[in-house]
């Protein structure tokens, strides 16, 4: 039979964090609450990052659906920008190759003399 992981309530975690915040050492709190010191470090870090959102419930923390959708939109936008910029770089590279073959810059347009109109 396998070992099952212990699950701690939000109140338990907050009590341990409160004791740490009052100045108790990690080792002391770990012994008193019978948890691994690394677990206490993680709980304290999570609490400091967002006290209101720390320890939302049992198991792994879940992303809010709105946040996931926002991140997916951002990824899509960045993918479009990357594709656009890669196309720009490809055109620049092609122009440089043509310039090297012809021996003259392609980016400079020659202006028409004043007074001459374009042929229709």
Q: Quote the radius of gyration of the chain (alpha carbons, Å).
A: 31
Number of domain units in the chain: 2
The span from the CA of 28 to the CA of 32, in Å, is 6
Pair of tokens at residue 60: 């792994």
Is 120 among the domain residues? no
Say what the pLDDT of residue 4 is: 73
Token pair listed for 80: 């479009």
Q: What is residue 4's DSSP assignment? A: P
Domain residue limits at 31: 10-49
pTM: 0.44
pLDDT in tens, 68-80: 888 899 999 999 9
Q: Which of 55, 26, 24 is nearest to 41 (CA)?
A: 26
Mind spelling out the 3-state secondary structure of 84-101?
A: HHHHHHHHHHHHHHHHHH
């Amino acid at each position: 039979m396998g070992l099952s992981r212990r699950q701690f309530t939000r109140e338990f975690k907050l009590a341990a964090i409160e004791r740490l915040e009052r100045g108790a050492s990690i080792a002391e709190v770990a012994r008193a609450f019978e948890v691994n010191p690394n677990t206490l470090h993680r709980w304290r870090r999570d609490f400091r990052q967002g006290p209101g959102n720390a320890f939302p419930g049992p198991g792994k923390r879940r992303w809010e659906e709105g946040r996931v959708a926002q991140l997916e939109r951002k990824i899509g936008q960045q993918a479009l920008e990357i594709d656009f910029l890669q196309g720009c770089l490809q055109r620049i590279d092609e122009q440089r190759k043509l310039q090297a073959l012809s021996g003259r810059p392609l980016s400079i347009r020659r202006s028409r003399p004043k007074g001459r109109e374009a042929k229709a």
